[in-house]
Amino acid sequence: MDLPPFQELIDAHATTIYRFLAARVGFVDADDCFQETYLAALRAYPELRDGSNLRAWLLTIAHNKAIDSQRATGRRPKPVATVPDTAVEQPPLKERALWALVGDLPVKQRDAVLHRFVADLPYADVGTAMGCSEDAARRSVFEGVKKLRELKEKLA
């Protein structure tokens, strides 16, 4: 399969990748992770042999960059006040509460929920992005949604 030009790949998937990263690492770190994702993808793109599912490939890279970012958080100084660099529209208060609950999920469940509902990936691609089977991805999403419902009921 012929690969599309890299710019077309970016144009086709940039919104999905950015939304996933914003949900995974927050709006402050999403820009850096987004750039790191596309730099890593650009480096690997010439060697890519299978272009059948480029979206899942990019989301796997984004997932790994999000993990790297969270690992580095402990080594970075904490900002006293933050000002967004870009005009990213904040979700309504009700949605922010839901995303805060998503952020409280265990890592595996959180990633599965984000891949499934933010990136709108089918379970097979969620499994690919997370490095597990489709059944394991399906189970992680199920457990994550179940946990979200429990947390939401406690808050209500």
- What domains can you pick out in the chain, each with its CATH number? 1-87 (1.10.1740.10), 90-156 (1.10.10.10)
Q: Is the predicted pLDDT of residue 73 greater than 80, yes or no?
A: no
Q: What pLDDT, on a 0 to 100 scale, did the predictor assign at position 32?
A: 93
CB 112 within 8 A of CB 137: yes
Mean pLDDT (whole number) for 5-14: 91
Amino acid, res. 14: A
pLDDT in tens, 36-70: 999 999 999 988 888 788 999 999 999 999 999 88
Three-class SS state of 94:
helix
Q: Where residue 78 falls among pLDDT bands split at 50, 70, 90?
A: low
Quote the pLDDT of residue 42: 93
Confidence of residue 76 (pLDDT cuts 50, 70, 90): low
| Residue whose tokens read 């970075």 | 76
Structural Rg of the chain based on CA atoms: 16
Could you tell me the pLDDT band of residue 154, with boundaries at 50, 70 and 90? confident
Sign of CA dihedral 103, 104, 106, 109: negative
Mean pLDDT of the chain: 86
Tell me how far apart the alpha carbons of residues 132 and 124 are, in angstroms, rounded to a whole number: 9
Confidence of residue 88 (pLDDT cuts 50, 70, 90): low
Distance, in Å, from the CA atom of 131 to the CA atom of 44, rounded to the nearest integer, reads 18
Question: Is a pLDDT exceeding 80 seen at residue 93?
Answer: no
- Supply the pTM of this predicted model: 0.55
Q: Are 151 and 101 in contact (CB under 8 A)?
A: yes
104-118 confidence digits (pLDDT tens): 899 999 999 999 988
Q: What is the pLDDT of residue 118?
A: 86
